[in-house]
């Protein structure tokens, strides 16, 4: 059974110079634990391989059920030098949501709207 990352967590990207930070905010504790286990640096590096990051580092914030990935040099020179329309990596957050993960658990997906 596969599940989209976007069904387990909210994702958002930002830039720091030539690097991208990808925030993954899980919608539940169960989702967070699953992502800690499965959403590895290797998986993110492979999904974004065409951007040729020189390194991918993962940080954890368990109190807020979140993971923060740093994708070093994943931009085409950053906002100041990129030749691409998305010079600041704004799209990484939404494309990351389409990353598919395999797993066996039943997940709590998007929180119901209030």
Compute the distance between CA of residue 2 and CA of residue 25 in angstroms, rounded to an integer: 19
Closest Cα to residue 76, out of 85, 87, 67, 68? 87
Question: Closest Cα to residue 51, out of 30, 24, 22?
Answer: 22
- Please state, in angstroms and rounded to a whole number, the distance separating the CA atoms of residues 111 and 70: 26
User: Which tokens belong to 83?
Assistant: 């030749």
Least spacing, CB of residue 93 vs other proteins, in Å? 7
Of 1, 2, 64, 102, the one binding other proteins (CB under 8 A) is 64
Smallest distance, other proteins to C-beta of residue 37, A: 19
Tell me if 48 contacts other proteins by CB under 8 A: yes
Q: Which residue has the tokens 């658990």?
A: 105
Phi, psi of 71 (to 5 degrees): -110, 100
Q: Interface with other proteins includes 102 (CB under 8 A)? A: no
Site string for other proteins, 3-42 (x = CB under 8 A): ---x---xxx-xxxxxxxx-x-x-----------------
Binding site for other proteins (CB under 8 A): 6, 10-12, 14-21, 23, 25, 47-48, 50-51, 59-66, 68, 70, 72-74, 76-81, 83-86, 89, 91-99, 110-111, 113
């Amino acid at each position: 059974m596969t599940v989209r990352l976007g069904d387990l967590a909210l994702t958002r990207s930002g830039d720091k110079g030539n690097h991208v930070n990808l925030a993954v905010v899980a919608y539940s504790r169960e989702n967070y634990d699953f992502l800690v286990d499965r959403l590895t640096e290797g998986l993110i590096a492979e999904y974004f391989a065409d951007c040729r990051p020189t390194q991918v580092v993962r940080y954890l914030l368990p109190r807020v059920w979140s993971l923060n990935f740093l994708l070093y040099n994943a931009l085409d020179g950053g906002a100041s030098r990129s030749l691409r329309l998305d010079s600041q990596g704004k799209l990484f957050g939404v494309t990351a949501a389409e990353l598919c993960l395999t797993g066996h658990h039943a997940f709590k997906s998007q929180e119901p709207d209030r």
